[in-house]
């Protein structure tokens, strides 16, 4: 539990947010299935990514953690070993779903589980198509809920249209397809984050995309490559909002990842009349840059359609941003929020209402009227790191203290969040 109160704060200075969680997960996975030693810098040492490391160690991969780098002694797909222990993915949906794609093609038996939150999250969107490819997967609710038992093997050619725009589902099927003897074709309804595709190319593999259609050839060899993980724009979003909604603020966020499939938050900031500028610092496979943001007079906007997959993880903090904007903000087409660490539609609406927000849930999103002077109160992270961080940022503009139950869950993606918050608000 954390009790937060700020007196007329402003947000000043500069920080470097931790490494991108999505890329950190994939760096371990691709390092493990490649031949040779992969060196990863900028890795996010949050609980979720450490769960990924633990799972691959249990499959015989040697992974060494140093202060500023991770070394992975790759085994290739065919070098992974049957784990003697259960693979525990903790709170990480990314680890769970992508690992299912890898295990689907492995000629051994494994059991995968997670924490109480993972046990409630639906897995059939992944397990059903993986079974169609030839994997044997069983578990609670006919393979919809963990724990899941997996026996992989020979995977067949597969053509699949994703029922939802989900990077986790897409990536799981890609990782399975890489182990097939034939071509795998995936069609996605909206373009989702493409870190998996970029990682394949970085490690020497081949994958093509034409419009919404992705093609993957199986049995490709991968060679170890160094990976630099940029700052996570999803983590940066909380500090971007903190600076935008507090008076006399000016904050620079250094070396933030600017992958175009992830920068929807910047489009929303622009639409809401936020005062910010981006300076590119690298145009590598995963581009990055510095973002300077200042206090802003915010205006409302409508958020939906193809923009949603590019900012799905940022919607909780965007909702807070909207409480301080002039007019009615509508967030729609975001049903995917219901199957995150919590039902984030309900969680965001109910927790912000406790602080005095004028916010209403809809079937696929929420409606927020602003600006509203928020009050202090007793709120609950619900074990969801992004809800916890959103409530912490909200305390910057409340009239009284905010008590947050379960704030320790923030370590999942941002272990030093409160340290950085104190750094940019202390004078």
Tell me which fold the domain 21-216 belongs to. Answer: UDP-n-acetylglucosamine1-carboxyvinyl-transferase; Chain (3.65.10)
Predicted confidence at residue 339, as pLDDT, reads 79
pLDDT of residue 4: 82
pLDDT of residue 1: 59
pLDDT, residue 285, reads 83
Dihedral sign, CA of 335, 337, 342, 343?
A: negative
Look up residue 421 and give its two tokens: 């918050």
Residue-range domain boundaries for the chain:
2-19+230-425, 21-216
CB contact at 8 A, 16 and 255:
yes
In whole angstroms, how far apart are CA 38 and each of 228, 403, 420? 11, 43, 30
CATH superfamily assigned to domain 2-19+230-425 = Enolpyruvate transferase domain (3.65.10.10)
| Residue-level pLDDT at 11 | 97
Task: Answer yes or no: same fold for 2-19+230-425 and 21-216.
Answer: yes
Residues of the chain with pLDDT under 70: 1, 427
Ligand-binding site membership of 157 (annotated):
no
- Tell me if 344 is assigned to a ligand binding site: yes
Is 166 among the annotated ligand-binding positions? yes
- Say if residue 93 carries a ligand binding annotation: yes
pLDDT score at 427: 57
* Residues involved in catalysis: 313
Cα–Cα distances in Å, from 358 out to 104, 116, 349?
46, 31, 9
């Amino acid at each position: 539990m954390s009790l937060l109160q700020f007196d007329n704060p402003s947000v000043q200075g500069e920080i470097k947010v931790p490494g991108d969680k999505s890329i950190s997960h994939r760096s371990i996975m691709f390092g493990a299935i490649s031949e040779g030693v992969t060196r990863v810098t900028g890795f996010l040492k949050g609980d979720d990514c450490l769960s990924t490391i633990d799972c691959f160690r249990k499959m015989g991969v040697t992974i060494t953690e140093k202060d500023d780098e991770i070394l992975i002694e790759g085994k290739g797909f065919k070098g992974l070993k049957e784990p003697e222990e259960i693979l525990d993915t903790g709170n990480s949906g990314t680890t769970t779903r992508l690992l299912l794609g890898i295990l689907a093609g492995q000629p051994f038996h494994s059991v995968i589980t997670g924490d109480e939150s993972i046990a409630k999250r639906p897995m059939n969107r992944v397990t059903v198509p993986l079974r169609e490819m030839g994997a044997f997967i069983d578990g609670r609710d006919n393979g919809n809920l963990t724990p899941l038992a997996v026996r992989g093997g020979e995977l067949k050619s597969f053509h699949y249209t994703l029922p939802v725009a989900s990077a986790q589902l897409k990536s799981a099927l890609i990782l399975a397809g890489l182990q097939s003897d034939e071509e795998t074709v995936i069609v996605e309804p909206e373009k989702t984050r493409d870190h998996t595709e970029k990682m394949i190319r970085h490690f020497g593999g081949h994958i093509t995309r034409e419009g919404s259609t992705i093609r993957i050839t199986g049995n490709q060899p991968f060679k170890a490559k160094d990976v630099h993980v940029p700052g996570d724009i999803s983590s940066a979003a909380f500090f971007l909002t903190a600076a935008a909604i507090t008076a006399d603020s000016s904050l620079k966020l250094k070396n933030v990842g600017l992958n175009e499939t992830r920068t929807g938050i910047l489009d929303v900031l622009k639409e809401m009349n936020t005062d910010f500028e981006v300076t590119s610092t690298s145009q590598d496979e995963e581009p990055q840059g510095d973002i300077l943001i200042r206090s802003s007079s915010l205006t409302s906007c409508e958020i939906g359609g193809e923009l949603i997959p590019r900012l799905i993880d940022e919607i909780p903090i965007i909702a807070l941003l909207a409480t301080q904007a002039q007019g009615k903000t509508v967030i729609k087409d975001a049903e995917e929020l219901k199957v995150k660490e919590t039902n984030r539609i309900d969680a965001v609406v109910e927790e912000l209402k406790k602080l005095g927000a004028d916010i209403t849930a809809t079937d696929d999103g929420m409606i927020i009227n602003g600006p509203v002077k928020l009050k202090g109160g007793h709120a609950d992270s619900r074990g969801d790191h992004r809800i916890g961080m959103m409530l912490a940022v909200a305390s910057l503009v409340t009239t009284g203290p905010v008590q947050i139950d379960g704030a320790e869950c923030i370590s999942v993606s941002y272990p030093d969040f409160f340290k950085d918050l104190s750094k940019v608000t202390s004078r």
